[in-house]
Amino acid sequence: MADSLPISGTLDLTRAPAPKRLALEVVHDWITTVDHKKIGLMYIASSLVFLAVGGFEALLMRIQLSVSNEKFLSPQTFNEMFTMHGTTMIFFVAMPMLFGFANYLVPLMIGARDMAFPRLNAFSFWIALFGGLLLYFSFLGGNGLYGDGGAPLVGWFAYAPLTARTFTKGNSTDYWALGVLLSGIGTIGTALNLVTTTLCMRCKGMKLTRMPLLVWLILITAGMIFVAIPPLSAAQIMLLIDRYVGGHFFDTQAGGSAIIWMHFFWIFGHPEVYILVLPAFGFANEIIPVFSRKPIFGYQAMVAATVAIGFVSLSVWAHHMFTVGLGADADTFFVLSTMIIGIPTGIKIFNWLATMWGGKLRFTVPMLFCVAFLFQFLIAGLTGIMMAVAPFDWQLHDSYFVVAHFHYVIVGGILFCLFAAFYFWFPKMTGRMMSDTLGKWHFWLFVAGFHLTFDFMHVPGILGMPRRVYTYEAGRGWDIWNLVVTIGAFVQLIAIVVFVVNLIRSLSSGDPAGNDPWDAWTLEWATTSPPPVYNFATEPIVRSRRPLWDLKHPEDPDWKYE
Amino acid sequence: MGVRGPRKAAAVLLGSSFGEINMNGLIRYLSHLYQTIVHSSNIFAPASAPAHDIFRLSMFVLAITMCIFLIVSGLLLYVLIRFRQRVDDNGREPAQVYGSNQIELSWTVIPVLIVMVLFLATVRVILEIEHTREPVNALNVIVVGHQFWWEFRYPQYGIVTANELHVPVSDGSKNPTPTYLTLLAADVNHSFWVPRLAGKTDLIANRVNTMWIQPEAAGLYLGQCAEYCGLQHAHMLLRVYAQSPADFQQWVEQQQQKAVQDPSVAEGRAVFERNACINCHTIAGTVATGHFGPDLTHLMSRETIASGVVPNTRDILRHWIENPDSLKPGALMPAMKLGDHDLDAVTAYLLTLR
């Protein structure tokens, strides 16, 4: 195979291709691999399975809520569903999917051979996967060795003292604590790897200010993980101490504090949502410029805004506690910090718009998802500003308005960016293009279903419907909105099915992609699709933020202007 | 399916005959929907001073966010149309613009100004609601949240009741008579939310919170627990009856009476007193002094039971005593396994507790 790549020496042509292997050898290879690309793909694949499970849980809830006084699910089952849906989607779908992409892309984008700690990388994946399996085992073993099954039903934030053994019988809460604790260990391992790799293994010429923005955002995300995850892990250990070893941290009947659990949880919980959203912003930062045919507008400002978001996000947590009675002084502080974090976030939206301004927009499927992301993230941010206004939040908190807001961020923002990332990097990972036709069906169906569900979901919140209710009275004016929300959920289901069909069919019969199907500019497009196991046979040397632009446009390289 | 599909669905919805829409039915349905939305538990239909404060602030915030939305999404739409790659494109890359410090500065300064305005407006309302001085003639109610019902104690009157909160209307002018609620939790966390009367405040275990309401018109205001508290969180409903001062006074005096002692239901009373009912419930003037369940002294002065879930009628009450789980699966009142005769007797007794 001739080396047709823009950077010579990328491929090692001295060795003959390996002979075909037995199926068992392939399985063994994947189970024992420490290659960041395979680990990344395993993260993504396992998160897709959990996405199907979490989505199924959502559909069951939506059927139950489609009309008032419905009896499709018992209160116990419904409460298990919303707890498992939230826990699954945050810890076993969103985080692994984002880390899967980070694992795959970061070494390639910085011209490195692999992550700094390949075995830690593999360990992090397998322990996180085990945590998910342990959590789901609760359906069988949740009430102990001789009891019946019972999944956790304390809500994904597991407020004390509902989690005390007095108030929730059986072991379901322990499965929640342990499953999430294990995944937290995996998360911290991955963060260690990402920070070390980014700081120590960049190729020649790639100063920090020449890294792709995706790598910057993942670096900052990893830093936030070090600060945000340990409080959650600590709180879960304290909860287990309370439950089994005679502790009273959160045991209000013995003088413990329910509020302290909330502080611990939300000091994790709020940075957590920025941990989820920053890599998604990173995808947009790579995809929007390519399909606008312009560099990102304001690279330095984007880095500065992200660092600002990283810091400020550690100071906003008690906006989840405005109704807890912390007092006017505390409420005021958190109002201010929450409003302040809207500023760098808004700046990012303006920079994306400015990137597209004056460009030549190509509405490929990844770009369609990014454009929808921009529109939807704008709305999500604005409803967030509404809830930063504490008195308004005193009405909106714990209602369906909040549920609509955070799904707008996570589905309308993060998941849309993830879909864009799938369509954009699938060719690099597999050597095949995804179907454009199926992609557009996926996009339009999902946009329709998303808006049907989550636009109208704001209304019951305004009309007084609280969250986490397994049913509701007739005559409150909530019925019609809930029915529309449920219909939208099923439209989204169809869209996801189209997506999965697209993924599977394209794997075997997609058009050959070539090395650089999108005419992009970062280093991953300088190697083959899929890359060889060593990524680059010789270390690339870069002189600007867009090394492939420089090679494709030798008369007008970036390094003359940066 | 064409036009007939939606018409059929609407006909089924309105209960009219197959294949035909009843215009009157449609109008009635829409009117009912509108009434329900406006009058049920809409946060944008305030009927009390703190709710009004929040409403005004929220309209201000909505105006600002709506402007931002229209401007930014308008820009997005413009960009999508104006800068899309044309079919007859010349294949050259557009001008590669890296950024502009002046532009970055301008769209940093404007959000900072917006944040300053929003922040000041917000602080003002936080203080308006949280730093008011309690007037001398305010009504004090202690609210204790239980799994899955509300206990209301009126220390100024020596009354204890459950689930249906009676308060006086305040004319709000020179002599407001708000109701100050002290919020306690008996077990796990709960939250008191009656949207038309105030924002919600949580009832946190091992903590004392306070809030106030000041209803300006007589009527029934609906709400429910807004902090997940277990199996029947969805059925911890709130009914707040705002009454004219005269009606409220009458209600207070009635509640202050000891329990009715009707000799014709002595058998039912005996059933009540020899079963474990007395361990959980209080009936003033009898041996029943339990605190785990609602006070039943004036049970029949309430329109609903099971915390607003079912109407308080003879048949439903009997059904509830026989098997609470059938009406509210997961309620903490056990089925007392009474035979039919005892069940009839004790129901007849409870029906006399006006």
- DSSP secondary structure string for all residues of B59-82: HHHHHHHHHHHHHHHHHHHHHHHH
Task: Measure CB to CB from residue A354 to each of B103, B199, B202 and give the nearest one.
Answer: B103
Residue pLDDT, tens place only, A10-35: 888 777 777 888 899 999 999 999 99
What's the DSSP call for residue B133?
P
pLDDT surpassing 50 at residue A144: yes
Contact A353 B79 (CB under 8 A): yes
Average pLDDT over residues B23-36: 74
* The pLDDT value given to residue B35: 67
User: Torsions phi, psi of B336, nearest 5?
Assistant: -85, 0
Residue corresponding to tokens 């707008």: A408
Task: Measure CB to CB from residue A463 to each of B37, B72, B231 and give the nearest one.
Answer: B37
pLDDT surpassing 90 at residue A156: yes
Contact B122 A470 (CB under 8 A): no
Contact A298 B198 (CB under 8 A): no
> Touching check for A207 and chain B: CB below 8 Å?
no
Residue pLDDT, tens place only, A255-274: 999 999 999 999 999 999 99
pLDDT surpassing 80 at residue B3: no
Identify the band that residue B131 occupies on the pLDDT scale cut at 50, 70 and 90.
Answer: confident
Q: How far apart are CA B198 and CA B30, in angstroms?
A: 27
Residue A273 near residue A310, CB atoms below 8 Å: no
* The pLDDT value given to residue A145: 67
- Continuous H helices in A313-435: 328-356, 365-388, 390-396, 400-407, 416-430
Q: How far apart are CA A466 and CA A456, in angstroms?
A: 15
Q: Tell me, what amino acid is at A3?
A: D
Q: How far apart are CA A75 and CA A82, in angstroms?
A: 11
* Radius of gyration over every alpha carbon of chain A, rounded to an integer in angstroms: 24
> Touching check for A87 and chain B: CB below 8 Å?
no
* The pLDDT value given to residue B28: 78
pLDDT surpassing 50 at residue B9: no
Q: How far apart are CA A44 and CA A50, in angstroms?
A: 10
The structure's pTM equals 0.94
* The pLDDT value given to residue A410: 98
pLDDT surpassing 80 at residue A149: no
> And the tokens for A167?
């108030």
Name residues 371-390 of chain A within 8 A of B (Cβ): 371, 374-375, 378-379, 382-383, 385-386, 388-390
Residue pLDDT, tens place only, B184-236: 999 999 999 999 999 999 999 999 999 999 999 999 999 999 999 999 999 99
Express as a percent the part of chain B with pLDDT over 90: 83
DSSP string computed for A43-70: HHHHHHHHHHHHHHHHHHHHHHHSSTT-
H or E, element range at B195:
none
- For residue A296, the chain B residue with the least C-alpha distance is B98
CA separation, residue A191 to residues A83, A184, A194, A493 (Å): 26, 10, 5, 32
- For residue A322, the chain B residue with the least C-alpha distance is B201
CA separation, residue A363 to residues A291, A360, A421, B73, B84 (Å): 7, 10, 14, 18, 8
- For residue B80, the chain A residue with the least C-alpha distance is A361
Q: Min CA distance, B71 vs chain A (Å)?
A: 11
H or E, element range at B149:
strand B149-154
Q: Min CA distance, B349 vs chain A (Å)?
A: 30
Domain ranges of chain B: 4-39, 139-249, 263-350
Chains A–B, number of C-beta pairs less than 8 Å apart:
269
The answer for residues whose C-beta is within 8 angstroms of residue B94's C-beta and 6 or more apart is A293, A294, A358, A359, A360
Task: Measure CB to CB from residue A469 to each of B73, B83, B233 and give the nearest one.
Answer: B233
Task: Measure CB to CB from residue A167 to each of B37, B103, B230 and give the nearest one.
Answer: B230
Residue pLDDT, tens place only, A24-72: 999 999 999 999 999 999 999 999 999 999 999 999 999 999 999 999 9
Task: Measure CB to CB from residue A361 to each of B85, B201, B222 and give the nearest one.
Answer: B85
Contact B206 A378 (CB under 8 A): no
Contact B69 A379 (CB under 8 A): yes
The Cβ of residue B112 has, within 10 Å, a number of other Cβ atoms equal to 11
Contact A468 B233 (CB under 8 A): yes
Average pLDDT over residues B145-173: 94
Residue pLDDT, tens place only, B244-284: 999 999 999 999 999 999 999 999 999 999 999 999 999 99
> Touching check for A340 and chain B: CB below 8 Å?
yes
> Touching check for A463 and chain B: CB below 8 Å?
yes
Across chain A, mean pLDDT equals: 95
Higher-pLDDT residue of B40 and A451 is: A451
Q: Min CA distance, B251 vs chain A (Å)?
A: 27
C-alpha dihedral sign at B241, B245, B246, B251: positive
Burial level of A24, CB count in 10 A (0-12/13-18/19+)? exposed
* The pLDDT value given to residue B39: 66
Q: How far apart are CA A12 and CA A63, in angstroms?
A: 56
pLDDT surpassing 90 at residue B147: yes
Contact A391 B191 (CB under 8 A): no
Residue pLDDT, tens place only, A61-120: 999 999 999 999 999 999 999 999 999 999 999 999 999 999 999 999 999 999 999 999
> Touching check for A323 and chain B: CB below 8 Å?
yes
Give, to the nearest 10 degrees, the angle between helix B314-322 and helix B340-350: 130
> Touching check for A362 and chain B: CB below 8 Å?
yes
Q: Min CA distance, A255 vs chain B (Å)?
A: 7
> CATH number for the B263-350 domain, one of 2.60.40.10, 3.90.700.10, 1.10.1200.10, 2.60.40.420?
2.60.40.420
Q: Choosing among B14, B84, B97, which should be mutated to test the A contact, i.e. which has the most A CBs within 10 A?
A: B97
pLDDT surpassing 60 at residue B21: no
* The pLDDT value given to residue B200: 98
Contact A327 B205 (CB under 8 A): no
User: Torsions phi, psi of B245, nearest 5?
Assistant: -55, -35
Residue pLDDT, tens place only, A358-380: 999 999 999 999 999 999 999 99
Task: Measure CB to CB from residue B65 to each of A331, A340, A382 and give the nearest one.
Answer: A382
pLDDT surpassing 80 at residue B20: no
Judged by average pLDDT, the poorest of A59-63, A524-528, B12-16 is: B12-16
Which residues of chain A lie closer than 8 angstroms to B118, CB-CB?
339, 385, 388-389
Name the nearest CA neighbour of A424 among A285, A534, A219: A285
Residue pLDDT, tens place only, A295-305: 999 999 999 99
Domain ranges of chain A: 29-211
Judged by average pLDDT, the poorest of A22-36, A146-160, A477-491, B33-47 is: B33-47
Which residues of chain A lie closer than 8 angstroms to B122, CB-CB?
332, 335, 388-391
Q: Min CA distance, B253 vs chain A (Å)?
A: 32
> And the tokens for B46?
């305030």
Name the nearest CA neighbour of A335 among A347, A318, A311, A323: A318
Name residues 117-136 of chain A within 8 A of B (Cβ): none
Average pLDDT over residues A3-15: 77
Contact B200 A161 (CB under 8 A): no
> Touching check for A324 and chain B: CB below 8 Å?
yes
Q: Min CA distance, A295 vs chain B (Å)?
A: 6
CA separation, residue A68 to residues A72, A482, B33 (Å): 11, 9, 14
Which residues of chain A lie closer than 8 angstroms to B147, CB-CB?
167
pLDDT surpassing 80 at residue B11: no
Q: What is the CATH number of domain B139-249?
A: 2.60.40.420
Q: How far apart are CA B72 and CA B79, in angstroms?
A: 11
* The pLDDT value given to residue B201: 98
> Touching check for A167 and chain B: CB below 8 Å?
yes
H or E, element range at A451:
helix A436-456
Q: How far apart are CA A298 and CA B103, in angstroms?
A: 10
Task: Measure CB to CB from residue A390 to each of B69, B85, B126 and give the nearest one.
Answer: B126
The alpha carbon torsion through A74, A77, A81, A82 (nearest 10 deg) reads 60
Q: How far apart are CA A190 and CA A44, in angstroms?
A: 14
Q: How far apart are CA A427 and CA A421, in angstroms?
A: 11
Average pLDDT over residues A436-459: 98
* The pLDDT value given to residue B51: 97
Residue pLDDT, tens place only, A500-517: 999 999 999 999 999 999
Contact A299 B44 (CB under 8 A): no
Which residues of chain A lie closer than 8 angstroms to B58, CB-CB?
386, 389, 391-392, 395
The answer for residues whose C-beta is within 8 angstroms of residue A381's C-beta and 6 or more apart is A342, A345, A346, A349
Q: How far apart are CA A169 and CA A115, in angstroms?
A: 44
